Structure 1
Amino acid sequence: MLKRNTESVQVPAPRTSMSSTLVGRLMRNRWLYMMVFPGLLYFLIFKYWPMYGIFIAFQDFQPFLGFWNSPFVGLKHFERLFSDSNFIILFRNTIILATYNILFFFPLPIIIALMLNELRLEFTKRIVQTLIYIPHFMSWVVVVGISYMFLTTEGGIMNELLVRFGGEKINFLVSNEWFRTIITAEVMWKETGWGTIIFLAALSGVDPQLYEAARMDGANRLRQLWHITLPAIRSTIVILLILRLGNFLDTGFEQIFLMLNAMNREVGEVFDTYVYSVGISQGQYSFSTAVGVFKSIVGLILVVVANRLAKKFGEEGIY
């Protein structure tokens, strides 16, 4: 008798095409993708699509000729920027203001968030949070107007206090020595509260059992802060610092433009205001674009260097 082959024959599984797998994944996560879509659309329209405009920096752009018919001039506008007698002054002022923001403004939201995290009364914590959030929603016109009321020599609160305590009036608004301090102080007052949101969110993820274990080991509040709280938000601090360096040369046009005058322009003129006064107002769009490209390249270099340093010291970085 012939023996029947009882070995099972393996039938290959039907291949699923990449398109069907992609569609299945999209359908499973459709609500998540719908939530992401508005933000993605925003970046595509307002961030990525306008990037083709950087080619204007290499042209003598003429609006009536259009983007494709304007003459190509290579690095002419970059050479003009770097050879301009004002370049060193602009670069120095921008770097100093940006450094002030990193040194004095960036740590402040971290400190405020740590202080708020130590509050035990939720009602008090919410009141304080609301009060420090409010300035973020004011326009720079309002903030500069408040600064003028405080610092003007004609009835300004600061000068009235100086006179009352036996001092002399100081014309803060036209002083080269006080300009950068005032600019940094305005940024700190306006944006510190808003900056605490991310750090408070990071602090909310710290395991409370770590604090209980630390208290059982005899650690006081300061040691708990140093050994538990700060290490828990260290990665968040590093990532935000790297992102901040990406906008290092963006010192804020509106604020500085409103605070500038003929007396403090020597220390207050930065790339943003220079682009407006020389480029936009006079219709030199190619030169304005060249300045923007230069700032972007500097920001990109700073992000790459900072990210590599972060990884070297054991942090994740942003990519």
Structure 2
Amino acid sequence: MEGSNNSSEKGFLLLGFADEPQLERILFIISLLFYILNILGNTAIILVSCVVSKLHTPMYFFLSNLSCVDICFTTSVAPQLLVTMNKKEKSMSYGGCVAQLYVAMGLGSSECILLAVMAYDRYAAVCRPLQYTAIMHPQLCASLASIAWLSGLITSLIQCSLTVQLPLCGHRKLDHIFCEVPVLIKLACVDTTFNEVELFVASVIFLIVPVSLILVSYGFITKAVLRIKSAAGRRKAFGTCSSHLIVVIIFYGTIIFMYLQPARSSSKNQGKFVSLFYTIVTPVLNPIIYTLRNKDVKGAWRTLVMRNSLVQKIYDI
């Protein structure tokens, strides 16, 4: 952003839901509650996946990565959001806005790739059960997770670098809940066609392509499951995959709505609610969905709790 903007000197004003104070107070409580649940739930998944040897499998390795991404992603937005919701002067420094822009987009893009990787893992488990351990060996799992993290970082560097170079010509008011690429594009006082096209292309790569791969994977999974003669076997296979599919639908649905539309087309509050949902609410759904629908996780968590209780009793004696 050019020096004439004054944005780099004074920062930005995040309007959020300031025009509806009662709604803002309610959303503050909801956001705080969901942020705490996000930290507790996803930390619990990471802990149980690392400590319980039964869960040292590719599925829970990727699930731990997903939980880590969710904690970092929400933390890049929620604390600042809670602060601005709770004060009259809703200012944010230029450096803080740029940092949030890079981190949030990088982590969000990484999650898009990670969910596609998890779909491939489910495909290998259901459709190639005899070769599963050979296909999803530790080196491949580590490589796929690294690709997910690095691809998010790279696209964030490219997309955000192009965005922060746009001249804002003194505009400081962001009519949004946090610093996000489509919102900053709206503030630019020059032709932003190139930026919008580039954002659309990046969105196709990180949204449409992974979703297509996920749908193809689940197409093969469905065919394989329907060939299982045992009704109990079919239920187990569908149960293993349905949790991931629910997370995919919720996460991709809201982000596609935000990013695969013209930058200036969304209504005043619609984009705010959508962004609030996929940054605050969706990360909480991951541990809830995976835990409530997964007997392995619940069993491992009970084992861990019982083990700690036993150690504590021995220590007390």
TM-score (norm 1): 0.28
Q: Which has the larger radius of gyration?
A: 1
Between Structure 1 and Structure 2, the one with more helix by share is 2
TM-score, normalised to structure 2, is: 0.28
Greater RCO, 1 or 2 (C-alpha within 8 Å, sep 6+): 2
